[in-house]
Structure 1
Amino acid sequence: MRIVLTNPLLIPFRDELTRNGGDGHDWEFLAGRPDDEVVDRLREADVLVGSRVTPAMAAAARRLRLVHVNGAGVDRIAFDALAPGVIVCNTFHHGSSIAEHVVMVALMLSRRVRRADALMREGRWESVALDPAVPLGDTLAGRTVGVIGLGEIGTAVVRATTALGMRARAVRRTPGAPLPEGVRVDRVDGDDGLPDLLAGSDVVVVTVPLSAATTGLIGAPELALMRPDALLVNVARGPIVDEEALYDALASGSIGGAALDVWWSHPNDGGGARGYTRPFDTLDNVVMTPHHSGHTRTTFAGRAAEIAANIARLDEGRPLVNIVTASR
C-alpha cells in the first residue's frame, strides 16, 4: 500500500511505524510540505496519516481507504468531502502524559510557583518566613477536582488526582456508563450537572472534544459559578472556553487562576504565535503552555505502534480499532 504521512510529530518514530505490520509498504513522508504538493501525492495514496484533511486533499485522494489521525482530535478532518467508504481512525496514548501536566500546573498555581520563580530571578525572596503577609499556598489533597468529560484524558486525570488525595466528580454525556476499574469518582452527572460541578470544585479540568455543542461551553455565566479561589485547567481546545469571559474573570480575581495549554488560534492555521487576543501574558495567575501537555515520548511511541498495527489490519482485511466514522 502507498502511505502518505503529513504530520511532523511522528517523523522521529519511523521505526515504530514500520514495526507491527507497518513495514513492507511504500511510505512517503511529506511533513511540512505545501498543501498543493500533498494534494498531488495523495492521488495514488491508500492511507493518509496526519491531523488535517482539507476538501482539496479529500477530492484528490480518490483511491484512499483510510485516514489515520495521529492523535485524538478529528476537528480538522473534512469528513463530508471524503470519498464513500473511507474510514477515519484516531489514536490516544496521551492520557497519562496530560494527567501529569494537569497535576503539575494545578500545583504551580496553588503554590504560586510562577510568581515565586520570577521574583527569585530578580533576586527577591517572597516568603512567609520573611513576610507574614505573604499568602500561603495549598495542597491538592483534600480538595475537589471537577472533570468535564471522562474519556481517556478525563479518567487519567481522575486517577492521578485521586492518588494525591483529591476527591473527584465529573460530568459526561452518558453518566450511567461504567467506569474503568480503579477510577474513583464521587459523583458523575450528565451535561445538566455542569453548573453544580463548577460551583463545587476547587480545580476544574476541561477534557471534552471541540464540537458545535462544546464551543463556548464555559462562558461568563459558567465562570461566575466558580469559587473565587478555584482553578481552571484547559487541556482540550481553546474555543470551548470563551476568551473574553475568561480573561475578565482572571483579571478581576473572580476565579483564582487558570492553566491554559490550548488556545483560540494556532500557528499551523495561520493564527500567529500568540494564540490569544487578550493579554493573558500580563497576569500572574495564569500558566501558559503551547499545547504540549501530551507531547512525550511515551505518547508518540504508543501512537506510532498503534497506527502501524491498524495499517496491518487494513492490509489483511481485519477489523480496525478506534474507528471514528466511515464516510458515506
Structure 2
Amino acid sequence: MRIVVTDPIISEFADLLRKKAPGNDWDFVAGISPEAQSGAIARADVLLCAKLASRDAAACTARFVHITGSGTDRVAVDDLPAETVVSRTAHHERSIAEHILMAVLAHQRRLPAVSEQMRSGVWRSVATEASTPLHRTLDELTIGFVGLGGIGTEAVRLCTSLGMKAVAVRRSPVAAEALGSSLEWVKSMDALPEFLAVSDVVVLCLPLTEETRGLMGAIQFRQMRSDALLVNVSRGPIIDEDALYAALKDGLIGGAALDVWWDAPTGTDAPESVSRFAAMPNVIATPHHSGHARQTFVRRATEIAENINAFNEGGRLSNSIPR
C-alpha cells in the first residue's frame, strides 16, 4: 500500500513505522509545499495526518485515514468519502498527567515568581520577610476535572496517589466507584458551579465542541476560589480569552497554566495571545507540549503501524471512529 504521511512529528519515527509495518511504500511529505502535499494525499491508499483541510479530505481516495493524535477538530472527517475508514490514537495520558501535577506544584510553590526574584538577586522567604505567603502541600488540595476521559482518569490516579482529593464533572456522569474509589464524587455538568466552588485546581481536559466552546467565562471565574489555579490541556477556545485575562488581572482567580491557546503559531513565532498572558506573574505558559514525551510518540507510531497491518489483513482496528 502507498502510505502518505503529512504529520511532521510522527514522521520523526519513520524508521519505527517502517519496521513495524513492513512491505509498504512510505511517502513522508511533511516538508513539501501544500500544493504537492495535496497531490500526494489524492494518491494515497493510507493517509497519516494530524490536520486535513476540507478540500483535501473531499479529494482523498485513501481507504484508510489514521489521525496521528486523539483530537479530530483539525481533521475534516465529515468531508472524507463515506467508505473511508478512520482511526485515531492517544498514548499521551501519562505525560499530560505529569504536566498537570507539575503545574500544581509550580503554582503552589510560586515557582515562576520566586525564580524571577532569585535571578534579580532578591532572597525573599518567611525567614527574611514575614509577609511572604506560605504554600500548601498536595494533601491539602482538592483538584477538579472537567471531563474524565483517559487524561483525566490518569491524572486522578497520579494526583490522588500523592494525597490530593479529586472531584469531577462530565457530560455523562457515572458513579465514582466505577472509575475508582480515589474520586470523591463525579457529577453532571449541571453541577459546574458547585464543582468550581470546591476545587483548588480546575483542570480542563475535554474536547472542543460547540457545547464546550466558551464553557469557562466571566460567570465561571467568579464561581471559582480566589486562589484557585486553572489548568487547560484541552483546547484554547473552551475558555473565553478576554474573561480569563480580566479574571487573572483583577485577582478573581489565583493563576492559570495554559498549554493550549486560541491561535496557532507561525513557525516558531508564538501567537499574539501568548505574550499577553505570559507576561502575567500568575501564568505558567507552555507551547502545547504537555503530551510530548518520547513515550507518547513511540506508542502512537506502534499503534498506527499495528492498525495499518490489521487494515491490510482485514483485521480489527483499534480506536476507529464511527462513520
Deviating runs (4+, > 4 A) in structure 1? 177-183
Counterpart AA for 2:187: D
Q: CA deviation at 1:275?
A: 5.0
| Farther off after superposition, 255-264 or 129-138 | 129-138
> Structure 1 205/219 Cα, relative in aligned 2: closer, same or farther at 3 Å?
same
CA distance in 2, matches of 1:38, 1:265: 23
Q: Alpha carbon RMSD of aligned pairs, Å? A: 1.8
Bigger relative CO (Cα 8 Å, ≥ 6 apart): 1
CA distance in 2, matches of 1:66, 1:183: 40
Alignment match, 1:176? 174
Question: Is the CA contact 1:263–1:275 (under 8 Å) kept in the aligned structure 2?
Answer: no
Q: CA deviation at 1:176?
A: 2.0
Q: CA deviation at 1:324?
A: 2.0
Q: Does 2:287 match 1:290?
A: yes
CA distance in 1, matches of 2:59, 2:39: 7
Q: CA deviation at 1:179?
A: 6.6
CA distance in 1, matches of 2:272, 2:67: 23
Alignment match, 1:106? 104
> Structure 1 199/93 Cα, relative in aligned 2: closer, same or farther at 3 Å?
same
Q: Does 2:47 match 1:48?
A: yes
Q: Does 2:33 match 1:67?
A: no
> Structure 1 9/106 Cα, relative in aligned 2: closer, same or farther at 3 Å?
same
CA distance in 1, matches of 2:321, 2:272: 28
Q: Does 2:243 match 1:245?
A: yes
Question: What aligned pairs does 1:1-328 form with structure 2 within 5 A after superposition?
Answer: 1-20=1-20, 22-62=21-61, 64-176=62-174, 182=180, 184-267=182-265, 273-276=270-273, 279-326=276-323
> Structure 1 212/181 Cα, relative in aligned 2: closer, same or farther at 3 Å?
closer
CA distance in 2, matches of 1:170, 1:151: 11
CA distance in 2, matches of 1:274, 1:143: 33
Counterpart AA for 1:93: H
Q: CA deviation at 1:14?
A: 1.9
Question: Is the CA contact 1:265–1:272 (under 8 Å) kept in the aligned structure 2?
Answer: no
Using the size of structure 2 for normalisation, the TM-score is: 0.95
Q: CA deviation at 1:180?
A: 6.7
CA distance in 1, matches of 2:176, 2:224: 28
CA distance in 1, matches of 2:175, 2:272: 36
CA distance in 2, matches of 1:110, 1:256: 10
| Farther off after superposition, 154-163 or 76-85 | 76-85
CA distance in 1, matches of 2:52, 2:176: 34
Counterpart AA for 1:166: M
Q: CA deviation digits over 1:126-172, x for unaligned, max 9?
A: 21111111111221213111001111101011011101101111111
| Structure 2: 5+ residue stretches without partners | none
Q: CA deviation at 1:183?
A: 6.0
Question: Is the CA contact 1:264–1:276 (under 8 Å) kept in the aligned structure 2?
Answer: yes
Identity value in percent: 48
CA distance in 2, matches of 1:189, 1:226: 17
> Structure 1 179/17 Cα, relative in aligned 2: closer, same or farther at 3 Å?
farther
Question: Is the CA contact 1:66–1:88 (under 8 Å) kept in the aligned structure 2?
Answer: yes
Using the size of structure 1 for normalisation, the TM-score is: 0.94
Q: Secondary structure at the match of 1:323?
A: coil
Q: CA deviation at 1:34?
A: 2.3
CA distance in 2, matches of 1:56, 1:204: 38
Q: CA deviation at 1:192?
A: 1.0
CA distance in 2, matches of 1:140, 1:300: 30
CA distance in 2, matches of 1:278, 1:245: 16
Counterpart AA for 1:45: A
Q: How many residue pairs were aligned?
A: 323
CA distance in 2, matches of 1:299, 1:277: 25
Counterpart AA for 2:189: D
Q: Secondary structure at the match of 2:257?
A: strand
CA distance in 2, matches of 1:152, 1:80: 24
Counterpart AA for 1:325: P
